[in-house]
Structure 1
């Protein structure tokens, strides 16, 4: 990512040299060892072609300084890799979850489908009723198959390594402010190789432009 940011600023750099100097300076974030997925269980997860086709959701837990739990709802757009939302709360049940999604709908709209694990909040009656009423399809992954929700799992690992493990939250409000700042930085300032060196926000814009052009070309061909 450092190499992409330097190139983004106009510098000509060698990525191997940058990686070596970065490591020698001890600037790398200490990352957790991730559990290896058996080869037989590795199935590529198809990426949607447009924003708001599929969102992935999960919960990531942390604690404030006094030991109280923070339950972070993470929402990622599978197509653009945008962090649609990170909502830190002390607790969040199914009804609270649906209210969060309705708030997101006011500014972004709703996805055609949402992918989650089998957590009780995602399988609650409130969530099922909400999805049915709004025409949103729910994809539930198989138990103990986190690779079926690979986009959110990857994001959650980065979120923990780069944000949660790097801060000592004194209160829920402190966590909300820091986490929202990190989310905005992730979307707007973090280029990703998987997105052709663009940030998630820039990639979302490029998809929207392509979609608009295709729509215009389609209409023009009708005349």
Structure 2
């Protein structure tokens, strides 16, 4: 960008020389922000669905860790987005859609059901058992891009 501006001013400069000078002086080029498109359709857009009260939106995701001997652990964390309260932390070697449904049934009996559950589109969260269960009890889903906060 600087090379282009200098050339427009009439200077005869080499890109590599400008780059070396720029780096030596410790200057940084500002990074352009990329406009992200909104995820989901109009009714289920993630940007619009903010938790308005307790038990409105729950978020569920996995955290991965390893034991001393190298075996993997999966930690399922489920939080209430409004209160930021951790509702459940389940640790296991593997989780299936049936395991998630069993956990949700127990939590719904204790705390009541949320209006929406937000998750990424991992295989446990989009499995047929989980989708059928959430449709049966009328809990909406909101999927995010994997790795998004």
Where on the TM-score scale, by shorter chain, does this alignment land: which range?
0.5 to 0.7
CA distance in 2, matches of 1:99, 1:131: 12
The structure in which a higher percent of residues are helix is 1
Gaps of 5+ in 2: 1-32, 39-46
**SS of aligned partner of 2:98:** helix
Q: Larger C-alpha radius of gyration, 1 or 2?
A: 2
Asked whether 1:74 is paired with 2:69, we answer no
Q: Hey, what does 1:110 align to over in structure 2?
A: 113
- TM-score (norm. length: structure 1): 0.45
Cα drift, residue 46 of structure 1: 5.6
| C-alpha distance in 1 between matches for 2:49 and 2:135 | 24
The yes-or-no answer on 1:131 pairing with 2:126 is no
Q: How many correspondences in the alignment?
A: 109
TM-score (norm 2): 0.66
Q: Following TM superposition, where does structure 1 have runs of at least 4 consecutive aligned residues deviating by more than 6 angstroms?
A: 42-45
Q: Whose strand fraction is larger, Structure 1's or Structure 2's?
A: 2
Match of 1:48 in 2: 51
Deviation (angstroms), 1:45: 6.8
Q: Which has the higher contact order (CA 8 A, sep 6+)?
A: 1
Q: CA deviation at 1:138?
A: 0.8
Runs of at least 5 residues in structure 1 that lack an aligned partner in the other structure:
1-37, 151-223
CA contact (8 A) 2:121 2:146 kept: no
> CA shift at 1:47, angstroms?
3.5
